[in-house]
Amino acid sequence: MDLINSVTGVDEEGRSRQRILTFAAKRYISAIERNPEDPDAYYNWALVLQESADNVDPSSDSSKDSLLEEACKKYAEATRLCPTLYDAYYNWAIAIADRAKMRGRTKEAEELWQQAIRNYDKAVQLSWNSPQALNNWGLGLQELSAIVPAKDKQTIIKTAISKFRSAIQLQFDFHRAIYNLGTVLYGLAEDTSRSGGADTSPNDLYSQSAIYVAAAHALKPNYSVYRSALRLVRSMLPLPYLKVGYLTAPPADDPIAPHKHWERSQFILNHMELQQVNDSESAPVKANALVEKAKRFIKVADTWESLDGWLDAIRLVYTIFARGKTDVLAGIITG
């Protein structure tokens, strides 16, 4: 209780909140004294410690770190007693990540990020349909990539991309994961432009990054962070389109043609439709039917990464349409 009692809060609201947390801590400690094998009591005690850390004066990193370290011990005990306690692994990972952030780009921070990533991994194993855990996992990998040796960075970044993408596939309008995917692709583009070595050109990566940032802004146009990022990347879009590229598809007049008759054609995607370039017989696919009808177009991309990019872009256009934000996206690419 000494750690809890040392937290007073920085204002009246914080002090009131801390009094509640202190009372809760006493209850959970009593519960553990009555039953030392109670995982929920350890889990709730850890939450109190973690929330108390958020209540610490910002200038007192050492006190905050001590509270988080103690919370991690309680989460460890909770998961030992109940190895399937998803919430404990998830919040434990957050606590470890907060400790890592205090240590900058040090070896100790690297080890903590690796621990956090392992816990996010475990949380996702226990609850695969958790977009927030996948998003946080991606963020942890992104942070880790800034610390590890250069030879390990690209592999970690690609894994982060896959986690953000998985989060978006679970929740199409998860704007934070969409934005985070844009930022990690932008960072990869920067690295590639300096040193090369990636499978995709820097320009393509910049363009991909811009698609996700534009989509995040379209979904949440009032978020200043997204607005600022969009100003940086908007010119990297193939304006007045969102995406332009090549796909191998069946002829427009024979959608069930054998594969040997498929042709490589250029396609464009804007805020409303997917269309085959220079093909007057190929009707555009409107946003409200994009996901279903586009299946007859998107059969083979040049690479798996390219296919992922096309599917993401189509899904995002449809999601933005479904959320009633098409006008915002239109303003981005045609304004």
Residue 214 has pLDDT above 50, yes or no: yes
For the stretch 50-68, pLDDT in tens is 998 888 877 665 688 999 9
Q: What's the CA gap between 95 and 188, in Å, rounded?
A: 27
56 vs 313, higher pLDDT: 313
Q: What's the CA gap between 91 and 191, in Å, rounded?
A: 32
The answer to whether the peptide bond before residue 284 is cis (omega within 30 degrees of 0) is no
Q: Which of 173-187, 271-285, 310-324 bottoms out in mean pLDDT, i.e. has the lowest? A: 271-285
Query: Is residue 260 very low, low, confident or very high in pLDDT (cuts 50, 70, 90)?
Result: confident
What is the residue-averaged pLDDT of the chain? Answer: 89
pLDDT recorded at residue 288 = 55
Domains of the chain: 1-128 (1.25.40.10), 150-237 (1.25.40.10), 243-334 (2.30.29.30)
The whole-model pTM stands at 0.88
Can you say whether residue 324 is alpha, beta or left, with left for phi > 0 and alpha for psi between -120 and 50 degrees?
left
Query: Is residue 199 very low, low, confident or very high in pLDDT (cuts 50, 70, 90)?
Result: confident
Residue 12 has pLDDT above 90, yes or no: no
Q: Which residues contact 122 (CB under 8 A, 6 or more apart)?
A: 89
Residue 291 has pLDDT above 90, yes or no: no
CB 286 within 8 A of CB 262: no
Q: Which of 42-46, 266-270, 282-286 bottoms out in mean pLDDT, i.e. has the lowest? A: 282-286
CB 4 within 8 A of CB 25: yes
CB 64 within 8 A of CB 78: no
Query: Is residue 136 very low, low, confident or very high in pLDDT (cuts 50, 70, 90)?
Result: very high
pLDDT recorded at residue 139 = 98
For the stretch 76-111, pLDDT in tens is 999 999 999 999 999 999 999 999 999 999 999 999
Q: Which residues contact 309 (CB under 8 A, 6 or more apart)?
A: 208, 211, 243, 245, 301
pLDDT recorded at residue 103 = 95
Residue 177 has pLDDT above 80, yes or no: yes
What percent of the chain is predicted at pLDDT more than 70?
A: 89
What percent of the chain is predicted at pLDDT more than 90?
A: 67
Q: Which of 5-14, 29-38, 180-189 bottoms out in mean pLDDT, i.e. has the lowest? A: 5-14
Query: Is residue 197 very low, low, confident or very high in pLDDT (cuts 50, 70, 90)?
Result: low
pLDDT recorded at residue 34 = 95
pLDDT recorded at residue 130 = 95
Q: Which residues contact 96 (CB under 8 A, 6 or more apart)?
A: 68, 72, 112, 113, 115, 116, 119
Q: What's the CA gap between 116 and 110, in Å, rounded?
A: 10
Q: Which residues contact 230 (CB under 8 A, 6 or more apart)?
A: 213, 214, 217, 332
Q: What's the CA gap between 69 and 40, in Å, rounded?
A: 18
Distance of CA 83 to the CA centre of its chain: 25
Q: Which of 128-132, 186-190, 247-251, 280-284 bottoms out in mean pLDDT, i.e. has the lowest? A: 280-284
Query: Is residue 298 very low, low, confident or very high in pLDDT (cuts 50, 70, 90)?
Result: very low
134 vs 6, higher pLDDT: 134
pLDDT recorded at residue 306 = 85
Taking residues 310-318, report their average pLDDT: 95
Query: Is residue 18 very low, low, confident or very high in pLDDT (cuts 50, 70, 90)?
Result: confident
SS (H, E, C) 79-128: HHHCCCCHHHHHHHHHHHHHHHHCCCCCHHHHHHHHHHHHHHHHHHHHCC
Taking residues 203-211, report their average pLDDT: 96
pLDDT recorded at residue 129 = 93
